[in-house]
Structure 1
């Protein structure tokens, strides 16, 4: 019996129901044991026999009228006497009987039809046979059906050992199918499949152990996956890759292959998207319109399945806001055209359409208001009033409308004040100032009004104070002390805070310096005369008073004092250098050279100092040469004292090299000894 004997929809419960279908033989068929089937013609034959007990032929009167009896019986007798017919019958009948007998002997008994078996009466072998057929399909339901067929047999049944072996095998097959689900990544299906094994079977003890193992493996793998996601959130790509590699060691094909590949693709994708967002953010930080548009395009290109999709969607409105900020900065700089151009480039993906529309409306209104006329302000108010109360910028529009309404009043006052001030007289300027001061400082044109008032006030002060400054300049033309002091007195009448005060103060300082120079110049000249005579200390004392006074000539006096003090130090150094050089030792000569070298090059003594330095350097070289006869090391030390730039320096360096070669002679290479050539004596036999 094969699997085709069991329908797919067969179940043991259905198989227990007996087959009540009535099978009615067909008319004319013969049932077993030679009994004619119901509805055959045997009844009519029997009735005819009973009506004709003598066995005489029944004569049909209708046919007898047309066919004579002698003519009907003649062909029958001729057929019965044919030897050919009897030969054929004798050959066919025994052969047919033999063939049928052999076929019946060789025919195998039919296998039981499992779906139609009444199971309460089925034998153990039949149950086992049908269970094996069901289990051979290797599906969970069929394996459970196989177990259900045989587990009801008594424990003392002769086939119990074999049945238990099969049940154990089928239970393990179910666990194997569950493990396949687990390996395929369906943990819940695997657990559900394993738990279908009957709890009263010995194999059920493996279920809890198997489920615990699956859950442990799954939990470990899921923990690694969560850790990878955390690393990706922190943008630690290398660490995420190292964690993902741990999935390869998970004892689950789904996690070690499918999920591992998925995680690797995720890392690559997330890294690429992260780099894109970093680039977009860097572009946005430049605060350049084109870069912001490029940043928005990059963020828009990140797909919905990306790890950074939500982040990208959050950045797009922020980039749009930055564009609005740039547009607002242009508006603050009163560049409405540039501001409107930026605002119109903001993409719809930023979801700032309402803000952009309000910005454009207000920008147009502000551009009209900047013209500064009453009509332009009225136009700006009309444009701002078009913004609906439901719009985000409605409150700002109302504030601007209030401001412009006040500004209309201020513009009228300023125009009147400017008309008055244009006359240029003190009275007209004063009237213009009074008119402009009526504009409150917190009004839109308050700052402009203050500026105009300050300008007109300066004009009034200039008109009032200019005569004082002009008279002072006339007095100072003589440039003597009395005239200059009179000019200073006249210009000092211009008070601090007045428009011409800075100019007056500048003139006063210039005239004061001239007075001080006239007063102090004789004292400075006297000090210079003392310096010419060589009495530098007296010259310094004479000029010190001027230098410390802070007057006009104090800087010049201090410069002269510094020069004279330098001359004194140069003389002292030159004197000490000559005194020290007299000793004639190397240390004394070196100290003399150092002191002489301190004399500034601008000093007249520098020429004598240079000559002396060359002489003392030559003396050092001579001392070193004399020392070389007894102590080369000491001679080298002395020669090294000669300073660079002197006439003896190059000679000293050459001498030092020679002496060093004498102290450290180079080894003379020894010639290699010649090896004696071996020769074979004559007559020697080798």
Structure 2
């Protein structure tokens, strides 16, 4: 007996260690032709028949007589050979079973076996199985009878590999897809499509990545609309991964980033208020943006910007000498790497400035001591040294000012003069120079007031009589105070008052004379007299000008009234209308206005009467005359009624019939020219 196992599919004997790997070097397999196998089976059957006949003869000698019946043996001889023949024929016509591919010894395998096993492997539609199928048949000779079928299968399996690679590409695994495509043997016809397919994948992938990156950049710039438009382009990319997974991912990122953007917009709006609470709220809001957000970097930039605004606010507050508030603001500035050194320096120097703002020698000495503790390596060291020098000068200035104030407190001219001299020793570029200048100016005013007060007092005593001579003497006394002195403006006000009194005393008789002339009816002479005062610019000039205007208006009114009366004498509609216009120029404040109103009503009635008379001859002309009646006169309403009646009369009856086109609008008044036609 042989130890080899027989393949259940093909009947080919196999060794126990056989595997399906064709590259394995330890395979051992015996390939036996199916027809030889059938012949061996037939020979085995013939040997079995001879042995059986021999045994039957031996048995026949020992058997009873009844066993020697010819009929029995005939039947046996018929059945046994028939059975053997049936079994032999069945074995001859029995088809060989399919080979078991894992047990095939590939170096000796036929082309049909290789093709059959390759097809089985390829049917699994995995990359490894398709590659194994290609490897099984690609090494067969080019002149093999099955080469046509093999090439067709190789092309199909290569296309299947490309499809599987494309599935990886569509799933988002570009590198895996490229690696899979490169596994296709270069000597297969389809291999020329591999580079084109890879180039296509890379082009699609690069385009999608560019869209994605551009959308990310728009998000960082907070251009939501542009980001949404770019996102929609992913739907048109020929890749399911980018058109679905990455599209949804980017949409979710936009929604989240937009929420962060709204927070930053609100923070920026708060920071524009530039007060402490708004800046703190803005920083708190910007800190809610998470590190994985596209706007995280922007939020950090804004936090730095808001912190800088807080530092500037603290600095401006310190310049306003509100050190406590300035230091409070500085201590609330969030820790920002770019500003931390500046904030620490500001607080350190601010503590010294707070002591200096007390304005006392002890406070300045404390400030100097605190500033001297600042290390030379700090950025504010030079500023601290400048302040120390300034504060040392300020201590000297305070000492001088205190001495000067003590002198000035005595209130005498000599003491004030000494105080001024002491304060003037403070140089103009010293810290307390402005304060010293203010004190000097105040003490100088006190000295000048003491010196010039007697002039004011004497002038007031002289002016008590309020006659021209006394007032002029008072003016002369007060004029001794020179410009720029402390009491100069007070003296000038006194001089203006006394001068006005002198002018009133001098001009009042002339104004009274003009008034008397006007009362007597001599308005022309009154105007001429008062005009002298009006143009002088003296105390009574405004009063005189008012009187001149009043009298001149009366003169004009009288002239207009006279001209109107003369025009009205003509009695024509035009002359009466002109007379009314002239008469209306008389002011309502004038005494002639009552007579004017009566005359206007009379002349208006005359115009209406003329129009009524004219209506009997020419209605159009009558309407024109009636329109001359002025509004506000007693005849105005009657004139308007007559005009309406005459216009209605001029409308043809056919147009005024109610049954004729009732939807038409009222016909406008006809012109005189139409009526004449």
- The TM-score range, normalised by the shorter chain, is 0.7 to 0.9
Greater alpha carbon shift after TM alignment, 349-358 vs 178-187: 349-358
Contact 1:320–1:350 (8 Å) recurs in 2 = no
Match of 1:262 among 245, 249, 255: 249
Greater alpha carbon shift after TM alignment, 316-325 vs 567-576: 567-576
**2:465 equivalent to 1:478:** yes
**2:297 equivalent to 1:310:** yes
Greater alpha carbon shift after TM alignment, 593-602 vs 281-290: 593-602
How has the CA–CA distance of structure 1 residues 125 and 587 changed in structure 2, closer, same or farther, with 3 Å as cutoff? farther
Which residue in 2 is equivalent to 1:14?
23
Post-superposition offset of 1:361: 4.1
**2:442 equivalent to 1:455:** yes
Which residue in 2 is equivalent to 1:86?
none
TM-score (ref. length: structure 1) = 0.76
Match of 2:99 among 111, 115, 131: 111
Which residue in 2 is equivalent to 1:124?
111
What is the alpha-carbon distance in structure 2 between the residues aligned to residue 557 and residue 110 of structure 1?
A: 143
**2:364 equivalent to 1:377:** yes
Match of 1:328 among 296, 312, 315: 315
Post-superposition offset of 1:466: 1.3
Post-superposition offset of 1:411: 0.9
What is the alpha-carbon distance in structure 2 between the residues aligned to residue 593 and residue 257 of structure 1?
A: 93
What is the alpha-carbon distance in structure 1 between the residues aligned to residue 91 and residue 509 of structure 2?
A: 164
Which residue in 2 is equivalent to 1:417?
404
What is the alpha-carbon distance in structure 2 between the residues aligned to residue 455 and residue 564 of structure 1?
A: 54
Match of 1:668 among 658, 664, 677: 658
**2:330 equivalent to 1:367:** no
CA displacement 1:368-417 (0-9 Å, x = unmatched): 32322211221222233344444454443333222222111111111111
Which residue in 2 is equivalent to 1:169?
156
What is the alpha-carbon distance in structure 2 between the residues aligned to residue 633 and residue 209 of structure 1?
A: 100
Partner SS, residue 23 of structure 2 = helix
Post-superposition offset of 1:637: 4.6
**2:137 equivalent to 1:150:** yes
Matches within 5 A, 1:237-316: 237-316=224-303
Which residue in 1 is equivalent to 2:531?
544
Which residue in 1 is equivalent to 2:492?
505
What is the alpha-carbon distance in structure 1 between the residues aligned to residue 639 and residue 175 of structure 2?
A: 99
Partner SS, residue 400 of structure 1 = helix
Greater alpha carbon shift after TM alignment, 466-475 vs 565-574: 565-574
**2:143 equivalent to 1:135:** no
Which residue in 2 is equivalent to 1:558?
545
Computed over aligned residues only, the root mean square deviation of the Cα atoms, in angstroms, reads: 3.6
How has the CA–CA distance of structure 1 residues 214 and 113 changed in structure 2, closer, same or farther, with 3 Å as cutoff? closer
How has the CA–CA distance of structure 1 residues 413 and 154 changed in structure 2, closer, same or farther, with 3 Å as cutoff? same
Partner SS, residue 439 of structure 1 = coil
Contact 1:12–1:145 (8 Å) recurs in 2 = no
Match of 2:425 among 438, 441, 444: 438
How has the CA–CA distance of structure 1 residues 205 and 429 changed in structure 2, closer, same or farther, with 3 Å as cutoff? same
Which residue in 2 is equivalent to 1:579?
566
Partner SS, residue 14 of structure 1 = coil
Post-superposition offset of 1:629: 4.4
How has the CA–CA distance of structure 1 residues 206 and 498 changed in structure 2, closer, same or farther, with 3 Å as cutoff? same
What is the alpha-carbon distance in structure 2 between the residues aligned to residue 242 and residue 495 of structure 1?
A: 82
Q: How many equivalent pairs are there?
A: 590
Structure 2 unaligned regions, length at least 5: 1-7, 30-40, 42-79, 662-677
Structure 1 unaligned regions, length at least 5: 22-32, 34-93, 672-686
Contact 1:599–1:605 (8 Å) recurs in 2 = yes
Partner SS, residue 190 of structure 2 = helix
How has the CA–CA distance of structure 1 residues 20 and 383 changed in structure 2, closer, same or farther, with 3 Å as cutoff? farther
Post-superposition offset of 1:418: 0.6
Which residue in 1 is equivalent to 2:48?
none
What is the alpha-carbon distance in structure 2 between the residues aligned to residue 336 and residue 346 of structure 1?
A: 16
What is the alpha-carbon distance in structure 1 between the residues aligned to residue 140 and residue 570 of structure 2?
A: 136
Which residue in 1 is equivalent to 2:51?
none
How has the CA–CA distance of structure 1 residues 562 and 213 changed in structure 2, closer, same or farther, with 3 Å as cutoff? farther
Greater alpha carbon shift after TM alignment, 245-254 vs 618-627: 618-627
What is the alpha-carbon distance in structure 1 between the residues aligned to residue 223 and residue 131 of structure 2?
A: 50
Post-superposition offset of 1:526: 3.3
Greater alpha carbon shift after TM alignment, 217-226 vs 308-317: 217-226
What is the alpha-carbon distance in structure 2 between the residues aligned to residue 645 and residue 227 of structure 1?
A: 80
Contact 1:316–1:350 (8 Å) recurs in 2 = no
Greater alpha carbon shift after TM alignment, 528-537 vs 160-169: 528-537
Contact 1:417–1:436 (8 Å) recurs in 2 = yes
Match of 2:505 among 507, 515, 518: 518
CA displacement 1:232-253 (0-9 Å, x = unmatched): 4664433443443333233222
How has the CA–CA distance of structure 1 residues 140 and 598 changed in structure 2, closer, same or farther, with 3 Å as cutoff? farther
How has the CA–CA distance of structure 1 residues 159 and 403 changed in structure 2, closer, same or farther, with 3 Å as cutoff? same
Match of 2:597 among 593, 607, 610: 610
Contact 1:18–1:117 (8 Å) recurs in 2 = no
